Structures are given as C-alpha cells and as structure tokens.
Amino acid sequence: MLRRVRRRYLALKIMGEQFIEKEDLIRALWDAVLQLFGEYGASCVNLSLIGYEAEGNYAILRCSHGALDMVRASIASMTEIKGKPVAIHVLGVSGTLKSLRKKFL
C-alpha cells in the first residue's frame, strides 16, 4: 500500500541589503537545518526550493508536513547569507502551490 506524501509550501520574503543568489539561499537554508537539528533532522525535512524571484526577493520552499516547525525554526535562526546580513520572513504556509500563490504572492 502506498502512503501519500504530505507536503507544505512556504512563501518567504527575503530582506537584505544586497543581491542573494539562489544557490546561496538554499545552501544557507540547509546549513541552518543541519546546525539546529543535525543530519537526522535534515534527512526528515525533505527541503527543496521551488521558486525564487531575485528582483522581488520572494522564494517558495517545499518541505514535508511533519517537519514544518523545524523548517520555520531554521529560517528564524538565519541572520546572514555568505556574510551578508539578511532577514527572512515566512509570509504564509499552504498545502498546495496554487493556493499559496493565490493567498500570499
């Protein structure tokens, strides 16, 4: 019997003084998860960057349903990316991409 994978999508607003590359953002997110929860926690998160708009400083993340609190805590712990000061705010969380874009972006 196949289990349905439940996912959550997060809309993020990135506040920083300088331009942030997509690769730097995802690397910093993974580093924050690893630092707070270790390798086992990172393996449970199933984190991926779905969309990134550098001009508007918006990003969409996907994570597993059970690890949503871990991802939010990791995002809150981030204060810099590659030595550049940054603040990341979670605009909202949804179960589907369609409703996330409709509500928050």
Per-residue pLDDT of the chain (105 residues; tens, 9 = 90+): 667 789 999 999 999 888 889 999 999 999 999 999 999 999 999 999 999 998 888 999 999 999 999 999 999 999 999 999 999 999 999 999 999 999 987
Query: 23: which 2 tokens?
Result: 């690769």
In this structure, are residues 36 and 74 in contact, taking their beta carbons and an 8 Å threshold? yes
Q: Where are the domains of the chain?
A: 7-104
| pLDDT given for residue 100 in this prediction | 95
Q: Which CATH class is domain 7-104?
A: alpha beta
Q: What is the pLDDT of residue 3?
A: 74
